[in-house]
Amino acid sequence: MIYKTLKPFPKGFLWGGSTSAYQFEGAWDEDGKSPSIVDMYCHPQDVSDFKVASDHYHHYKEDVRLFAELGLKAYRFSIAWTRIIPDGVGEVNPEGLAFYHNLIDELNRYGIEPIVTLYHFDLPYKLEKQGGWSERSTIDAFVRYAEVLFQNFGEKVNYWLTINEQNTMILHPGAIGVPENGKLPSKKTLYQQSHHMFIAQARAMQLCHHLCPNAKIGPALNITSMYAETCRPEDAIAAHNWETIRCWSFLDIAVLGRYNALFLSYLNDRGICPTILDEDLVVLKNAQPDFIAINYYSTATIAASKGNATDISARAGDQQIMLGEQGVYRAADNPFVDKTAYGWVIDPIGLRLTLRKVYERYNLPILITENGIGAPDQLNADNTVNDDYRIDFISKHVTQMQLAITDGVELIGYCPWSVIDVVSTHQGYGKRYGFIYVNRGEFDLKDLKRIKKKSYYWYQQLINANGQLD
């Protein structure tokens, strides 16, 4: 659709930025924090681990000051379960609570809306050792953890996100690390874990509505659109297969409280359907999220499966690179889009399309909780970082957001990944996303100084103009 007039970004639009605890905080074993799975899993040896990360734990005041100067209206971050309840189920750690109270108070002091993710990839390692998400008991552990957060921070937090990118953890499990024995769980186990996460999430949403009636809560999934490689009907079916399995099946359960029919057929046919109790279906139905958060990076292009091993592409373990699945879909190339230095498709129009689809399907307000470009940023001798490519990337996505708003989508905020440099899930500090540079190398911690990139000044102007730069 080509419009004569574009709708402006709404008043109160949440211009923000994102991080997650384990990729940003560091202090991995300080003040009572216990290890999480990401601390203990195996990661590529040639990149940084998560022990110090950007040392936000010791720099939070300075960081929030920089966010305020940037003009952020909202800041999306996660709480580390392992700081709050170090063994996952037992004692609450007062030092963990104190850290997040201080952080949230600091944000509120500057008028920055905290958007809190309950859980971003970092399951307590002690729980994992007892079976982790494969065990139903982890549902109760999660709900209790959520209850502690709602009780302690409910007065100060208006927006909550449940579980970050459940679909990444289930469909691209290697992206967040590999267990010490080198073995990733089977698909059947992963889907059982996923089912338990859905129940945990639904119960947390209900609890939030009960304990914090003024707050809003929603799921945060990695959502994208799949293009068919050609107009061959078989390619269209394959694209629909994979879009349903990767995106809609997760959102249908989280938002509508029911398993998608095509997804169920797929699970049953392959013998990987989880055990679903009757009472689970009631819990799922009663969850009722207030909004949908999506992390959008790129689209993918899909062709019909050839029904043999060539359907599987070589590179696994990356959340934006589609792997292929025999009998379901095959990854294909899109000649009409560029790619980042890390092979992720750059597709701003795909964001508009994805927003339309999500809104049309669920009719709930949408918050973009991640979007950005990972790049090997260079710090110049004069302490500048000229990340014009980031300005270009964000600005083109913002243009498409405004078009989506004009299309009728109820978009309430934009929190690009990441407001400041953090460790990538599996590609270290070579791959940076922030508007603020953190001066450290892969292994050399240097001085961890915060340096504003060129994009910082640009984003500051964009926020100031409520998204309307000439």
Residue ranges that bind ligand BGP, judged by CB under 6 A: 20, 23, 164-165, 168, 222, 295, 319, 370, 374, 417, 424-427, 431
Q: What is the dihedral of CA 324, 255, 149, 213, to 10 degrees?
A: 170
- Continuous segment of H or E residues that includes residue 67: helix 56-70
Catalytic site residue 229?
A: no
Q: How far is the CB of 292 from ligand BGP (least distance, A)?
A: 15
Q: Report which DSSP code applies to 375.
A: B
As a 3-state breakdown, the chain gives helix, strand, coil percent values, each rounded to 5, of 40, 15, 45
What's the full length of the chain, in residues?
470
* Residue among 180, 370, 410, 442 flagged as catalytic: 370
Minimum CB distance to ligand BGP smaller for 207 or for 419: 419
Q: What is the DSSP letter of 175?
A: G
What amino acid occupies position 23? Q
Q: Could you tell me the smallest distance in angstroms from the CB atom of residue 424 to ligand BGP?
A: 3
Nearest in space to 85 (alpha carbons), one of 76, 95, 77, 75: 95
End-to-end distance of the chain based on CA atoms, in angstroms? 22
| Distance of closest approach, residue 44 Cβ to ligand BGP, in angstroms | 11
Nearer to ligand BGP, 164 or 244 (CB): 164
In whole angstroms, the minimum distance from the beta carbon of 350 to ligand BGP comes to 16
Residue nearest to ligand BGP (CB): 424
Smallest separation (angstroms) from ligand BGP to the CB of 332: 22
CA distance 194 to 171: 10
Q: Which is nearer to ligand BGP, 164 or 193 (CB)?
A: 164
| CA pair distance 144, 311, nearest whole angstrom | 42
Give the residue carrying structure tokens 């001798």: 381
Q: Which residue, 226 or 303, is less far from ligand BGP as judged by CB?
A: 226
Of 330 and 432, the one with the shorter C-beta distance to ligand BGP is 432
Residues annotated as catalytic are 370
